[in-house]
Amino acid sequence: MKNIYLLGATGSIGEQTLDIIEKQRDDFKLIGISGYSNFDKLVEITRKFLPEIVVVKDKFDKEKLVKLFPTIKVEFGRQGLKTLATYHKEDQDAYLINALVGMVGLEPTIEAIKIERDILLANKETLVVGGHLVSLLKKQYQFKLYPIDSEHNALWQLMNHENTKDIKRLIITASGGSFRGLSRDELKNVSVSDALKHPNWSMGNKITIDSATMMNKGFEVIEACYLFDLDIDKVDTVIHKESMVHSLVEFNDGSILAHVSHPDMHLPISYAMNYPNRKVTHIKPFDLMLLNNVSFQTMDLERYPCLNFAINAFKIGGSMRTVLNAANEAAVDLFLSGKIKFLDIETIIEEAMRKHQVIDFPSLEEIYELDSTIKEEIYKKFR
């Protein structure tokens, strides 16, 4: 029996995690959850699972929730997330599932690592922005870090027990997102609603836009370097429209191993939660004949400059990754609220990176501070 501490319960990953907990009542117990903007859904989940602790957005939401559930511990904000991540410090059967979106996910990961809690990670920013901190902590603390992202989860399945030195390269597949058929010129006037129509995956808004700009793939390349301790020149990407092959690993002997499945996040979540076992999921059997229609296409960095920004940010290192992420978060937010055009996302990130003076090994506080500064500057400009 594993006790689950779930950050980001109301999002897409959170919801699918709850499906699995519900189906495997004998294997998992939900101890705590957090939610942010979707208060009603948080209430619904709380009613259904009756966790011990719920973390909400702010004091106002806390008061509302306490009234509904007087016996449940309710916390809020940044401190609340830290409390949830380290709740029942001594719990030896704990999994922190970090399904937060954005920079806010970094601190709870760090806190959980410091109490040696095992982490199932869906929050990309933890490694994009704080990978250097996590790597350092790996030397001091004993903890497991299992990826939930479909691509990294696939890579993990393929590399299980293989030697890193035998790996020639990882190949992360990219669907190409909602605008993959469009030229640079056609991207100029795309709408928000079109951008949110991902052809294969049903995901949150932020990641759907990151998928259209290919920034999502850039984040994934950075994550893969940290997760699997590989140099960035060993991590490639390829366009694969059908989202059936979730990633591939090429070895020095000429073997390539590939992970194939329907695009359904229940699968990587279930794999990470049940590792080293695999549990039957509701996912319908994959008909091999579908492989008759797979396609692969070389990645085009000119078409997708955001991927290039991410690669460069990783190579430059230190605080440049914070700038990459902060500028992207702000820009995507501005695009979603209709304040900028799609291609402005790139311009904003590029400019923020160009102006930045790198700090080599930023601390958590420096990261949070820089994140705020960058975002404020961008928001100021477009308010």
Provide the binding-site residues for a second copy, judged by CB under 8 A.
Answer: 157-158, 160-163, 166, 168, 171, 238, 245, 248, 250-262, 264, 267, 270-271, 274, 276-281, 283-286, 288-289, 291-292, 294-298
The smaller minimum CB distance to a second copy, of residues 60 and 286, is found at: 286
Nearest CB to a second copy, comparing residues 182 and 257: 257
Q: Are 121 and 147 in contact (CB under 8 A)?
A: yes
Give min distance, CB of 18 to a second copy, in A: 18
Whether 276 and 251 have beta carbons less than 8 Å apart is answered as: no
Please name the residues in contact with 25: beta carbons below 8 A apart, sequence gap of 6 or more: none
Phi, psi of 320 (to 5 degrees): -60, -30
Compute the least distance from the CB of residue 280 to a second copy, in Å: 5
* Residue 275 Cβ vs a second copy, minimum distance, rounded to whole Å: 11
Match 């095992």 to its residue by tokens. 118
Q: Find the shortest distance in angstroms from Cβ 31 to a second copy.
A: 24
CA 329 to CA 210: how far, in whole Å?
A: 9
Our CB check for a second copy shows the closer of 67 and 284 to be 284
Cβ proximity to a second copy, 73 vs 168, nearer residue: 168
CB of 274 to a second copy, least distance (A): 8
Nearer to a second copy, 30 or 171 (CB): 171
Token pair belonging to 155: 């890579």
Output the CA–CA distances (angstroms, integers) from residue 269 to 12, 147, 278, in the order listed.
Answer: 11, 9, 11
Q: Which is nearer to a second copy, 128 or 155 (CB)?
A: 155
DSSP string, 147-208: E-SHHHHHHHHHHTT--GGGEEEEEEEE---TTTT--TGGGGG--HHHHT--SS----HHHH
- Minimum distance, C-beta of residue 121 to a second copy, in the bound complex (Å): 19
